[in-house]
Amino acid sequence: MHDQKPEAPLLNPEVTRLKPKKRVGLVVVITGYGKGKTSSAVGMLVRACGHGMRVCMIQFMKGDLYTGEWDGIRRLACEVELIPAGMGFCGIEGNPYPHSVHREAAQRAIGLAEKKIDSGRFDLVILDEVNNALKLRLVDLDQVLNLIQRKPSLMHLILTGRDAHPDIIQLADTVSEVQEIKHAYRRNIEPQPGIDF
């Protein structure tokens, strides 16, 4: 433990610790068009860290635009490997790279994911934006299904990104769809640090 802070002031003196009789490595999908998919995965990364687990987070598509979670995760005294492996969101305005370059980067990320999953070193692997990468044909369905199927049974695997494929939802244990009720950018509020990036 690298505890640098005093114990949080738990007002409740009796804290129960859940201990599942059976440990299971879950497949979790966080999809939908609302805000809070990657941040949810980062939250679970923190949760896993709190349990002393080792985490690897591979970001598909992301990598060209600075986001605070990169430095935030680096400030965690935990075994976390973070790999922003993308070239930005394929096809959006302002992104200069052709599909082939995005696909090449995503294919490298798939290879990395295979290696990390097979290494057995990690208790949690996060494939951030992989659903979106699949939708945009930067990776193939078989490749993602293969990653899910080859994972060690006790390893958790989180797949984020909009437009999750039905076959992936089918294989997953827990699936959430984050719907947008409203978003600041629709009122022309620019993305704000600490919330949006």
Nearer to a second copy, 28 or 127 (CB): 28
Report the nearest approach of a second copy to the CB of residue 94 (Å): 9
Say which residues have a Cβ less than 8 Å from residue 63's Cβ, sequence separation at least 6: 84, 85, 86, 87, 88, 105
Report the nearest approach of a second copy to the CB of residue 148 (Å): 15
Report the nearest approach of a second copy to the CB of residue 140 (Å): 20
Lookup: tokens for 123: 């208790």
Report the nearest approach of a second copy to the CB of residue 102 (Å): 11
Q: Which of 112, 72, 64, 128 is nearest to 92 (CA)?
A: 64
DSSP SS3 for 95: coil
Report the nearest approach of a second copy to the CB of residue 27 (Å): 9
CA 124 to chain centre: 10
Nearer to a second copy, 38 or 147 (CB): 38
Q: Is 167 exposed, middle or buried (0-12, 13-18, 19+ CB in 10 A)?
A: middle
Nearer to a second copy, 83 or 144 (CB): 83
Q: Is 91 exposed, middle or buried (0-12, 13-18, 19+ CB in 10 A)?
A: exposed
Nearer to a second copy, 145 or 171 (CB): 171
Nearer to a second copy, 74 or 93 (CB): 74
